[in-house]
Amino acid sequence: MPGGIEGSETLSSDVDLISYSYTMFNNFSRPDAVIRPSNPDEVSSILKTLSEERKKVFIRGSGTSFVGCPAEGGVLIETRRMNEILEVDEEDLTATVESGVQIGHLLKKLPSDIFFPIDPDGLSLSTFGGIIAEDSASPLSLAYGTAGNTLLGLEVVLPDGSLMELGSTTIGARGIESLFIGTEGSLGVITKVKIRLYRRPERLLLYEIDVPHVEDAIEMYSLADISGIPLLGFEFYYRDMFELGGKEVNMGSRVHMLVKSPPKEEVIHEKIKSIAEIEGALKIDVEEYNPMLLPRWRGREYLIEGLKSTGRTVSFISFTVPRDSIFEAISRVDAIGSRMKLETVTMVNPSMNWILTGFTYNFADEKEMKRAERALKMAINQLSEIQAIFGFGTGTGTNMAGLKLRSLDNRELFEKVKKCIDPNFVMNPIFTSKEE
């Protein structure tokens, strides 16, 4: 066993293993051991040994995803001790960090006019290894793309212990490092990443627009998208978010548009106003938004505040559907909520066709908790019928799961690559037909 790898910590007590058995989403699966290496050489020795022993290996950054610890009966390699910011190049706008660095750690070290836009959990807890391995998205992905779009190079340890430094010297040129984007720890342990940084916008406007129906919010995005409005983000919150605790609201959805202030602000304002009016807006508010708050923006706070005010918790599902099925998806979740007598919360990012929805329950009420679990299963079944792809990410994120569903050729090619790189099928083996 790799407990003897010098420098790396190995945890195997009951208390430690239980604390590594959950992700932020309460998924439970208990590893046999947790190893916490502090540098790539340790990762290399660990992987080589585990691969030779044909032991299942799972990787974990911060565990903020659904897929961060499916480590039942395997060894979990946790990357958080590899947490050094190696270089920030303020001129070229790049940063090189070890893979266990959390987004918030880098954000704090950057000068105020530079930032990194992808903060998927909204709490800046995700690691750089995790966001690349999942090709994570965030509300600002509309303007900046997903985590994979920010990647310039990476260092990875393969299951045979070999250490590869991959990347292009030309900024913007995609190289073979892209192979690891979205592979969810199934090909190797990413130990270092070089990512692109961005200039912080100087002035931002936040539009808050209430519309009568969900369809109006979806349509508003389509119109805004083609009208030349310099959008940084667009999300809408279904009325259920504001109805928590039995409150009554008179709108169908609340739209949040974050706009980079252009030189002719008045022209853009008129455009947004007229689009909102076409969609029958009930309210149009606009305020300046402090750019220093980026990459966070206010929308997600509704969710957190709503849950706090009712003292309830929520079982989430995250999925993408084709744009023309967004309304159908929300209606199906709504109907399940009514049937199961559970309040729901739903937010939608139409630029990525992505929906986060969930059923709320009282943690102390076991019956209600069971009902929420049943509701979630029903939702997954019903949403599968309209081509939902589940998992946190972009729909291209949670990649392997997505690829599996999308195309047999994609899957076949991935399996061939996997066979070459990981012939003993030890790394995150849930993604291989051999183990399924």
Ligand X SMILES: Cc1cc2nc3c(=O)[nH]c(=O)nc-3n(C[C@H](O)[C@H](O)[C@H](O)COP(=O)(O)OP(=O)(O)OC[C@H]3O[C@@H](n4cnc5c(N)ncnc54)[C@H](O)[C@@H]3O)c2cc1C
Site residues (CB under 6 A) for ligand X?
23-24, 58-65, 67-68, 79, 99, 120-122, 126-127, 129-131, 133-134, 136-138, 184-185, 189-190, 392-394, 397, 428
Residue 115 backbone phi and psi in degrees, to 5: -150, 170
Q: How many CB atoms lie within 10 A of CB 123?
A: 16
Nearer Cβ to ligand X (214/400): 400
CB of 128 to ligand X, least distance (A): 8
- Helices 326-339 and 214-226: crossing angle in degrees, nearest 10, is 160
CB of 103 to ligand X, least distance (A): 9
CB of 16 to ligand X, least distance (A): 16
132 Cβ contact list (under 8 Å, min separation 6): 99, 147, 148, 151, 154, 180, 181, 190, 193
295: cis peptide before it, omega within 30°? yes
The owner of tokens 């969810």 is 184
Nearer Cβ to ligand X (45/428): 428
User: What are the tokens at 154?
Assistant: 């990476």
Nearer Cβ to ligand X (60/332): 60
Give the residue from 385, 382, 330 showing the smallest Cα distance to 354: 330
Residue 290 backbone phi and psi in degrees, to 5: -65, 115
CB of 143 to ligand X, least distance (A): 15
Nearer Cβ to ligand X (217/317): 317
Nearer Cβ to ligand X (130/167): 130
CB of 265 to ligand X, least distance (A): 29
Which pairs from 302-306 meet CB under 8 Å and 24+ separation? 302/237, 302/241, 302/242, 302/254, 302/347, 303/237, 303/241, 303/345, 303/347, 306/241, 306/242, 306/244, 306/345
Give the residue from 175, 294, 305 showing the smallest Cα distance to 241: 305
CB of 420 to ligand X, least distance (A): 17
Nearer Cβ to ligand X (126/325): 126
CB of 284 to ligand X, least distance (A): 26
Nearer Cβ to ligand X (74/337): 74
Nearer Cβ to ligand X (185/201): 185
Rounded to an integer, what distance in angstroms lies between the CA atom of residue 352 and that of residue 273?
23
CB of 131 to ligand X, least distance (A): 4
- Is there a contact between 190 and 133 (Cβ–Cβ < 8 Å)? yes
Rounded to an integer, what distance in angstroms lies between the CA atom of residue 379 and that of residue 335?
10
CB of 263 to ligand X, least distance (A): 31
Rounded to an integer, what distance in angstroms lies between the CA atom of residue 132 and that of residue 310?
35
Rounded to an integer, what distance in angstroms lies between the CA atom of residue 304 and that of residue 360?
12
Bridge partner list, 361: 313
CB of 32 to ligand X, least distance (A): 16
User: What are the tokens at 419?
Assistant: 């066979």
Nearer Cβ to ligand X (268/317): 317
The owner of tokens 């002719």 is 264
The owner of tokens 């392997």 is 400
Nearer Cβ to ligand X (58/234): 58
